[in-house]
Structure 1
Amino acid sequence: MRVSDIMNTRVFTIPPTTILQEAAAIFDRNRIDGALVVDGSGHLIGLITKSHLIKAQAKNQMDQQVDAVMTTSVFTLRDTVSLSELQRPNRVFSYSVFPVVDSENRPIGIISRTDLVKYLSEKSLRLAEEMQAVLNAIYNGVIVTDAEGIVTMFNRAAENLTGQNAVNVIGRLVDDVMPNTGLRRVLELGAPELNQKQNLGNCQILTNRSPILKNNKIAGAVAIFQDITQLSAVAAELEEVKSLKSTLESALESFFENIVIVDKKGYIKMMNSSYGDYLGLDQHDVVGKHVTEVIDNTRMHIVAATGKAEVAEVQRIRDKDCVVTRIPIIKDGEVIGAVGKSLFKDLKDLKAMARQMNTLQHQLEYYKEELRKVQGGKFTFDSIVGKSEKMEWLKTVAVKAAKGNSTVLVLGESGTGKELFAHAIHNASGRLHGPLIKVNCAAVPENLLESELFGYDEGAFTGARRGGKPGKFELANGGSIFLDEIGDMTLAMQAKLLRVLQEKEIERVGGTKPVKVDVRVIAATNRDLEGMIERGDFRQDLYYRLNIISLQIPPLRERKEDIPLLSSTLLKKINNQTPHWVEGVSPEAMEILMEYSWPGNVRELENILERAVNLMDEEALITPDNLPPVLKKQHKNKDVDEGGKHLAGIMGDTEKQAIYRALEAAGGNKSKAAQILGIHRSGFYQKLKKYGLSV
Structure 2
Amino acid sequence: MQNVLIVGAGSGGTIILNLLLNLNFMNVKAIVDKDEQAPGLHFARKMGIKHGSDWKPFLTEDIQIVFDVTGDKSVVKELMESIPAHTLLIPGTVANLLVGLLNENDRFIRRIQTEMDRQRLIFNSIDEGMIGIDRDGIIDFINESACKMLEVSDFNAIGKSIFDIIPESKLVRVLQSGKAEVNDELILPNGLEIISSRYPLISADGDTFGAFAVFKDISEVVKLAEEIIDLKSVKTMLEAIIHSSDDAISVVDENGNGVLVNPAYTRITGLSEDEVIGKPATVDINEGESIHMKVLKTKKPIRGVNMRIGEDNRDVIVNVAPIIVNRQMKGSIGVIHDITEMRSLMRELDLARQTIRKLESTYTFADIHGSSPDIDLAIDQARIAAKSDIPVLLRGEAGSGKELFANAIHSESSRKSYNFIRVNCGAIDPSAMEKELFGESGRYDSNKPIKPGLFEEAVSGSIFLDEVTDLPLTVQVRLLSYLKQRMLQMNTSEPVRIIAATSKNLEKAIHEGTFHTELYYALTRITIQIPPLRTRKSDIPEVVNHLLTKVNQEFGMNVETISDEAMNKLQQYDWPGNVRELENVLSRAMIYIEPASTIIKAEDIKKSLFTNEMKTSEEILPEKSTLASVMDDYERSVLEKALDEHNGNKSLTANRLGISLRSLYYKLEKYKLI
Q: TM-score, normalised by structure 1?
A: 0.35
Q: TM-score, normalised by structure 2?
A: 0.36
